[in-house]
Amino acid sequence: DAGITQSPRHKVTETGTPVTLRCHQTENHRYMYWYRQDPGHGLRLIHYSYGVKDTDKGEVSDGYSVSRSKTEDFLLTLESATSSQTSVYFCAISESWNTGELFFGEGSRLTVL
């Protein structure tokens, strides 16, 4: 199994509070992604990174920011959480864009009350 660790795995927070989710990999892969999964929507890309300090937006990036200061860590921040951001968040990594195959973390379930 690919070495991907997400933390926290479960979090309950209140509207308006900041939240940071962490994705840590031990595979030294270049590409890292944050997806959210909601019923009826499949997985939707929030942000992704193609190298240290190199990030770009996905299709549902509003209300989220990311940072990647080291190859192994990709942080997803909700500056002011809203109930619409209640979801399961998955981090994924990919070694090479030529193959594009993603390896996923175990997911972080976030509930915003």
Partner 1 sequence: ELKVEQNPLFLSMQEGKNYTIYCNYSTTSDRLYWYRQDPGKSLESLFVLLSNGAVKQEGRLMASLDTKARLSTLHITAAVHDLSATYFCAVDDFGNEKLTFGTGTRLTIIP
**What residues between 4 and 43 interact with partner 1 by CB under 8 A?**
31, 33, 35, 40-43
* Nearer of residues 19 and 90 to partner 1, judged by Cβ: 90
What CA–CA distances, in Å, run from 106 to 3, 23, 82, 92, 109? 11, 10, 23, 9, 10
Least Å distance between CB 24 and partner 1? 15
Least Å distance between CB 59 and partner 1? 8
Least Å distance between CB 16 and partner 1? 28
